[in-house]
Amino acid sequence: MGLSIPSHPASRLPRPLVTSFKWHPPEGPWIKVNTDGAYTGAPDRAGGEGVVRDWSGKLLAAFSTPLDAHSALEAELMAAHHGLELARVHEQPIWIETDSEQAAKLLNGFTWGPAHLRRVMARIFLFKRRYTMRASFIPREGNQAADLLAKMGLGQQCFLRFSAQTAPRPLKDIIRMEEMGIPNIRVRSEEHE
C-alpha cells in the first residue's frame, strides 16, 4: 500500500480557529448605531465612539469623545447614549449594536444595573420613552468601525463629530469594505477554547 507509519507520535500543534463576522445593515427605515466604549483603570481614562449608518450602510455620522466613566461597562453605556443622541436627529427607529453583551442586555431591559450606572441608565430610559430603539450584541470583529475610533480617541480632549466627508480615511475604508459585505476575521488557537 505504500504507507509509512511514523516510529514516534507526531506532536499535535494547536490549529488556528478562524471565524468570520459580517456587519449587516438594518432593514429600512431603521438606522444602525455601532458603539464602543474604552476604559483604562490607571489612570482613570475613558472614551466613547460610535458610527451611525443607514439601511444601505452609508455613513450618516460618527463621533469620538472622552468620557467621565469609572468602569468599562459605564464607558460602553455612555458611548451608547451618545450614539443614540447623535442618531435621533434622523427621526427614524434606532438599532444600536455594541460589543458588550452586558451593555446590550441593560439597553434592552428594564433594570438599572449597579449603582454607578444609574446616571447613564436614567438618560437611556428617558430616551427609550421618547424614541423607538432596540439593542443587540455584535462581536468586536463585527464592530470594526467603532473599535477603530475607540483606539484613535482614548486620549482625546474633546468631542469630535465626523460626517461622510470628514471621517478619517481608515474609517472610510472599513465602512466601504462592510458595505461590500467583506467579513472581518478572528483567528484564535485551539488551546483558548
User: 71 near 103, Cβ under 8 Å?
Assistant: no
For the chain, how many structural domains are there in total? 1
Query: Could you tell me if residue 7 is inside a domain?
Result: no
Q: What is the predicted pLDDT for the residue at 193? A: 47
Residue labelled with grid coordinates 433594570: 111
Q: What is the C-alpha end-to-end distance of the chain, expressed in Å?
A: 38
User: 79 near 36, Cβ under 8 Å?
Assistant: yes
CA angle 142/143/148 to nearest 5° reads: 130
Q: DSSP letter at 156?
A: -
Whole domain around residue 61: which residue ranges? 17-192
Query: Could you tell me if residue 2 is inside a domain?
Result: no
Element (H, E) at 118: helix 118-130
Q: What is the predicted pLDDT for the residue at 163? A: 95
CA dist 2 and 11 (Å) reads 23
Q: Which residues of the chain have pLDDT under 70?
A: 1-16, 189-193
Query: Could you tell me if residue 140 is inside a domain?
Result: yes
Q: What is the predicted pLDDT for the residue at 8? A: 61
CATH code, domain carrying 71: 3.30.420.10
Query: Could you tell me if residue 11 is inside a domain?
Result: no
